[in-house]
Structure 1
């Protein structure tokens, strides 16, 4: 978890926040309780809340977008810097422009067609899905599925970390499913510190694979496990 998420978690624990004028474009919006909506076509500074979701309507622009307990939903043609949440998913529409990275702990991340993420995409317990999207800083997860969808380009590779053993785990752990889709490219190593099921399309290109054996497939979708 990065410093931003840690600081937000501390704010939640303390019950403190610093409020700015939520009605002025280009200004920061900080809350403890309640959601935030960035209106279509408007420009904002940092958007942060502790208990609430954040919606960015079509064409909205913002700097850092952060919450602790809530999801982040963005429409088409949205531009941001870093985007992070602890308990919630992150979902962007088409042609997203993310100058930083995307990060969540308990929740999935999805970026639709034409997206660009300059840095990395990270989850702990959540799936990652990309469609025709470029990622500049790699993909990291622990327990999430990963789909590098058709036409996507990931620089920096893929890293699936070994889960930390905290106490006793009952039953069999779920095995993450990793899919590298048609015409997708992963520049850099694919490192798997735990068991995964890895499918790589015949038209895809990847770096060196460690810790898993790729299963090649043709067609639009990989086989069902």
Structure 2
């Protein structure tokens, strides 16, 4: 329960400076960041507002434009982030993560069963990962690396991945959803991937002629021209 502090009347003898300080102290509780923790239900962080952690088990989380949030996480639900939001991390287990342009994430962005898409101009200080789902980056600066098992990957035009890419081998008891095929990995125009690209499973790797990548293990890069990679 939130406690409301009622300010006492200020003495008339306070100087202007002391009065300003006293008024600021009285207003301090209004600046506190609110954390929200649920079991069932969705959460919305309102545009331009600041929050602490946002956590739910069964429900989606929406971050509106310009909101500032600490850690964001759900188990069964999607995470949607509007433009120019600032977060510490984004995570879900069963659900997708989609961030519009200008995301500023200090830490990791990841899901287990779901896709990840980060829009133009995003900046991520940690890693991006999923197990079953596609990953798409558009003009994103990723300080960490990308790790996945199943699903397509597009490092889109102008993106910079500093920590490499790794596809790990599926476990023996993994059961795919839908039609089984080799994942498509596309490194787009002007994109850059520092560090190694390691593939422990078969993939189709397409690298644009203007892209730069590190050493490749476990796959053969096919160069392409134009805006789109060849179809399989």
Q: Same fold, TM exceeding 0.5?
A: yes
Q: Any stretches of 5+ residues in structure 2 without a counterpart?
A: 4-29
TM-score of the superposed pair, with normalisation by structure 2: 0.85
Aligned pair count reads 206
Counterpart selection for 2:131 from 93, 102, 124: 124
Which TM-score applies when normalising by structure 1? 0.87
8 Å CA contact 1:73–1:92 kept in 2: the answer is yes
Cα gap change, 1:37 to 1:216, in 2 (>3 Å): same
Distance change in 2, residues 1:203/1:51 (3 Å): same
- Within 2, Cα distance between the matches of 1:136 and 1:169? 30
C-alpha RMSD of matched pairs (Å) = 2.1
Q: 2:46 aligns with which of 39, 49, 52?
A: 39
Partner of 1:193: 200
Equivalent positions of 1:21-32 (< 5 A) are 26-32=33-39
Instruction: Report the 3-state secondary structure (helix = DSSP H, G, I; strand = E; otherwise coil) of the residue aligned with 2:52.
Output: coil
Alpha-carbon separation, structure 1, partners of 2:101 and 2:178:
39
CA distance in 1, matches of 2:58, 2:124: 26
Structure 1's consecutive aligned runs of 4 or more residues displaced over 4 angstroms after TM superposition are 167-172
- Alpha-carbon spacing, 1:125–1:215, altered in 2? closer, same or farther (3 Å): same
Distance in 2 separating the partners of 1:184 and 1:42: 33
Larger Rg: 2
Which residue, 61, 65, 72 being the options, matches 1:65? 72
Give the conservation status (yes or no) of the 8 Å contact 1:20–1:28.
no
Q: Distance in 2 between matches of 1:124 and 1:46?
A: 24
Unaligned stretches of 5+ residues in structure 1: 1-18
